[in-house]
Amino acid sequence: MTLYDSSLRFLFNDADIRGECVVLSDALNEVTTVHCYSDSIKKLLGEFAAAAVLISNNLKYQGKIILQARASGPLELVMMECTSDLQIRGIARGNLKAEAATPLELLTTGQLAITIERDGGQRYQGIVALESDTLAGALENYFLQSEQLHTRFWLTAQQGRAAGMMLQQLPAQLQQQPATRQDQWNTACILAETVTPDELVELPPSVMLHRLFYETPVRIFEPADVIFRCSCSRERTLNALSLLPEAELVELLTEEGAITLHCDMCGTDYRFVQSDIPTLAENGRVH
């Protein structure tokens, strides 16, 4: 039975190569059901979600990865977040009914940005042009340019599920000879290339890894759960609302009797009346 909504790390026993597998189902569906996305956009969001989880493997501290693409259309934005605790959320903006033969065709003449945010404010961002035909190819270009690490991705999304695998070459520890390291990396990638999209989605990751690398054994770690969770809250929404000019708040309350803010990420509505807003509650500006 496939272990859905989980991420699994692995290391090659005799090579400086690490990897990660992810399979998503319920967590992905909670992302894609907030809006009426086309099937193509759901697939694209699925690939972004799988990729964000795989990349979060690089986080060595509390924080989050933000995988974001901006383009000229049909979609203008696709964004997926994954925290160091493997909590995901995401959104697409633009023509939400658009379809395409391959998901990345929805993002034309765009850029892909990977942002690492450390809890406490430290932030790092790298950007690469979306010149590849696939998200996996775009990510490989990013890591080659920004991180100077050999990194390969295999991504798929189908029938409400998404899955992915990543291989990354580590600095020399087990093997020092450049020729040997390159041969090991080439062999691992050739074997990984034989995986099919159906196998990525349907097989338990441990079974899939055994089939792929039975001649070059890997050490598999305990899987970690991936869940959907939005970082919005009533308190954070109220804090944002309080930044508006007092006159604007008074006008909104006078017209509507209450102010309702909507979170596009999870679909939650937050409703505030005068007594909820500290500055207005204190001076009694609205009656």
What pTM value is reported for the model? 0.91
Annotate 112-130 with three-state secondary structure. Answer: EEEEEEECCCCEEEEEEEC
Burial class (CB in 10 A: 0-12, 13-18, 19+), 132: middle
Residue with tokens 């999209």: 197
What whole-number distance in Å separates Cα of residue 153 and Cα of residue 164?
A: 7
> Which tokens go with 72?
């000229």
CB-based contacts of 196, cutoff 8 Å, min separation 6: none
> Which tokens go with 143?
């890591």
Examine the pLDDT at 83 and tell me if it is beyond 80. yes
What whole-number distance in Å separates Cα of residue 87 and Cα of residue 205?
A: 20
Q: What is the DSSP letter of 231?
A: -
Where does residue 258 fall: left (phi above 0), alpha (psi -120 to 50 degrees), or beta otherwise?
Answer: beta
What whole-number distance in Å separates Cα of residue 228 and Cα of residue 15?
A: 34
3-state secondary structure of 195: coil
pLDDT band (50, 70, 90) for residue 286: very low
> What are 132-168's pLDDT values in tens digits?
889 999 999 998 887 778 999 999 999 899 999 999 9
Neighbours of 285 (CB within 10 A): 16
Domains assigned to the chain: 6-228 (3.55.30.10), 234-283 (3.90.1280.10)
> What are 165-189's pLDDT values in tens digits?
999 999 989 888 999 999 999 999 9
